[in-house]
Structure 1
Amino acid sequence: MKPITILMIFIGCLAGSGWASAGSPSPTPQAKTANSSASLFQSAASAYERKNYPVALKIFTELAEQGDADAQFSLGVMYDNGEGVPKNASQAAAWYRKAAEQGHAKAQFNLGVMYANGEGVPKNASQAVTWYRKAAEQGDASAQFNLGLMYDNGEGVPKDASQAVTWYRKAAEQGDASAQFNLGFMYANGEGVPKDASQAAAWYRKAAEQGVASAQFNLGVMYANGEGVPKDASQAAAWYRKAAEQGDAYAQFNLGFMYANGEGVPKDASQAVTWYRKAAEQGDASAQFNLGLMYDNGEGVPKDASQAVTWYRKAAEQGDASAQFNLGFMYANGEGVPKDASQAAAWFRKAAEQGHAKAQFNLGVMYENGEGVPKDASQAVTWYRKAAEQGYASAQFNLGGMYANGEGVPKNASQAAAWFRKAAEQGVASAQFNLGVMYENGEGVPKDASQAAAWYRKAAE
């Protein structure tokens, strides 16, 4: 009755919807031109680490006003975070700028972040790019990653996948996990570089080993499909588990599927339910549908039609066609909900409009019988035809019947025979019998006793 959703294959979207955040004052300051300045800075840095912000603020301010770039940057951080002073993005940006203009890479990066987010300065993607570039050219990995994102998204610069790859690579080679993930994505999709599954897997692995859940999931997908790595269900399950344990809903769903089907792990319906539930509770429609199936069939949980309906509804309301069909079925049969033909038709229609063949057929039946909708042979034919054209045998048989009887369409024996044949070739016994009758009587086909006998035999078998 109800299909099991196949393993979802999904390559995640690019990382980096947010920006790397401003850091703490550097614990290893640049060398000072005067020993007294260096000593003062170390004293301030030590005070900061001890969270003695008043002392740190006093010394950093004194040094910053003397033009010390490290102190200017550190003072910017304190204003940015509201440490020892009221939080003040405008003051933070002002101090970052002073340090940035002296070539301080971390200040250049943070100033870029401020422009990107419109914090303390007007939002300005072009200025963000300018400051990211200055820091990136000094080797700052976070700035290289963010500059790659700007090229990737066409923010502040013309969109340029090749340039995005260049900057992602620089950051990735320094061990930046987000850049490693994005570089893997670019190789997986052939954006800015030739498509190369092996390289994609290699970069996903680097990010995955640093704990990036999206990379762990994508690496699992590559093992599941044998893309860039040998196909290995146990490795796929292992990487899905790592991502799933971090709360990645897609990984939770896929891990549930692996347990449901015994792929890469021992078959275990209870574990399948556990992981489907975790993903379902995060709003994953496929997991909600599959969890509904588990309740519907009593697999891994006690059979519970009411719970099945609950989860089908959640998925159906997100537009999942299979869930819409199953919810319609539950209403049609009064399973887990009061029997309601009108609701059944409404949900069958939603699934049918998405191309779900069984729903199209069922909606056709409801129009033919006037169940939940006004009786309308023409509408029945419309929906039977949609399902029949997708190869759904029952719909082909019913459509043949409509042509044979002139219901909803002009009577046409030739069309009746054509649709009966399609259903008959798929093994529908009633269609085989009807086609035999048509050959015996020469209706819609040339009269042919041997063909009639052949189709009667198939039906009889």
Structure 2
Amino acid sequence: MIKKYLALSMFVFSSQAMAADMRDAEVAMDRGNLKLAMKIWTELAEKGDLVAPVHLGYQYAKNARNGNKEDGKKAYYWYSKCAEMDACKLELAKLHDEGVGTSRDKQKAMVLYRQVIDSDLDWSDGKDEARVKAGLIYMTDKNFHDKAEAEKLFATAARHGDPQACLWMGLILQGKQPVNDNYVEAYKFLYLANSKGNYSAMGQMQNLEQKMTNAEIAQAKKLAAEWRPSK
């Protein structure tokens, strides 16, 4: 997802010379030389390139989530340097959401998630990730609790095939009244989530099967097989 976004951003933001240096960094990464790639990205970022900070932020954030708290601050610093880009807004939102490299602040996270969602940029993967993250805040944070808005966001991302959104639609639909009318749709979304790699849906599918007829399960699987992503 990040690579697809950066390909567009390099065209917009990078000079020809900077683009050549960026390719050198990519070659270094392909050869497993992260130290050299980080050096090139840092030099580019310090010259004002807006793409290099995305790479730096990504690497530092990965280190932070693996336990290096100081790298979290570096991730936040570099993502802040390219905050006008949707990719950086999304990552800054996640840092605030998780409290990595900065204070945990759901309000700031939500503002940034919403900016990504409402952006004019055609970036469906990033927007769907923002929808799911914002939906989770609406579902779990008492200061934002809005189940209807969460479902709306999950439903949009699920239509595009986002696995986590499909899982949440399956969970939400199970509890809707009348429940029997929603079991087939719920199972369909759980089946899709599982087929797309979100294997935590399997347990939910097994539980739901205990409440469904064989005909309903077959219908749900048929709907899942016929499903296609939509805009």
Per the TM superposition, whether the score is higher than 0.5 is: yes
CA contact (8 A) 1:271 1:300 kept: yes
Q: Distance in 2 between matches of 1:247 and 1:239?
A: 13
1:290 corresponds to 2:106: no
Superposed displacement of residue 376, structure 1? 1.9
Q: Distance in 2 between matches of 1:298 and 1:236?
A: 27
Superposed displacement of residue 396, structure 1? 1.9
Superposed displacement of residue 409, structure 1? 4.8
Give the secondary-structure state (helix, strand or coil) at the position aligned to 1:367: helix
Q: Distance in 2 between matches of 1:16 and 1:261?
A: 26
Residue 322 of structure 1: aligned partner: 129
CA contact (8 A) 1:331 1:341 kept: yes
Give the secondary-structure state (helix, strand or coil) at the position aligned to 2:210: helix
Q: Which amino acid aligns with 1:283?
A: M
Residue 224 of structure 2: aligned partner: none
Q: Distance in 1 between matches of 2:51 and 2:214?
A: 45
Give the secondary-structure state (helix, strand or coil) at the position aligned to 1:299: coil
1:330-369 equivalences under 5 Å are 330-334=137-141, 338-369=144-175
CA contact (8 A) 1:213 1:246 kept: no
Structure 2, unaligned runs of 5 or more: 222-231
Superposed displacement of residue 236, structure 1? 0.5
Q: Which amino acid aligns with 1:243?
A: L
Residue 191 of structure 2: aligned partner: 385
1:302 corresponds to 2:107: no
Residue 42 of structure 2: aligned partner: 241
TM-score, scaled relative to structure 2: 0.75
CA contact (8 A) 2:57 2:78 kept: yes
Q: Which amino acid aligns with 2:36?
A: Q
CA contact (8 A) 2:184 2:217 kept: no
CA contact (8 A) 2:70 2:101 kept: no
1:268 corresponds to 2:71: yes
Residue 397 of structure 1: aligned partner: 203
Superposed displacement of residue 403, structure 1? 3.0
Q: Distance in 1 between matches of 2:164 and 2:172?
A: 12
> Considering only CA atoms, is the larger Rg found in Structure 1 or Structure 2?
1
1:220 corresponds to 2:21: no
The one of the two structures with greater contact order (alpha-carbon pairs below 8 A, sep at least 6) is 2
Superposed displacement of residue 254, structure 1? 0.6
CA contact (8 A) 1:249 1:284 kept: no
- Structure 1 residues 219 and 384: alpha-carbon distance in aligned structure 2, compared to 1, 3 A threshold: same
Q: Which amino acid aligns with 1:270?
A: K
TM-score, scaled relative to structure 1: 0.40
Q: Distance in 2 between matches of 1:308 and 1:389?
A: 30
- Structure 1 residues 315 and 411: alpha-carbon distance in aligned structure 2, compared to 1, 3 A threshold: closer
Percent of aligned pairs sharing the same letter: 21
Superposed displacement of residue 11, structure 1? 7.3
1:312 corresponds to 2:113: yes
Q: Distance in 1 between matches of 2:215 and 2:105?
A: 43
1:23-422 equivalences under 5 Å are 212-226=17-31, 231-262=32-63, 268-279=71-82, 281-285=83-87, 287-318=88-119, 319=124, 320=126, 321-334=128-141, 338-370=144-176, 376-406=182-212, 409-410=215-216
Superposed displacement of residue 302, structure 1? 1.3
Superposed displacement of residue 247, structure 1? 3.2
Greater helix fraction, Structure 1 or Structure 2: 2
Superposed displacement of residue 305, structure 1? 1.1
Q: Distance in 1 between matches of 2:131 and 2:213?
A: 28
Aligned length: 206
Q: Distance in 2 between matches of 1:215 and 1:232?
A: 17
Q: Distance in 1 between matches of 2:21 and 2:154?
A: 37
CA contact (8 A) 2:79 2:91 kept: yes
Q: Distance in 2 between matches of 1:386 and 1:411?
A: 13
Structure 1, unaligned runs of 5 or more: 18-177, 182-211, 416-461
Superposed displacement of residue 391, structure 1? 3.7
CA contact (8 A) 1:405 1:411 kept: no
RMSD after superposition: 3.4
CA contact (8 A) 1:403 1:410 kept: no
Superposed displacement of residue 350, structure 1? 2.3
CA contact (8 A) 1:249 1:282 kept: no
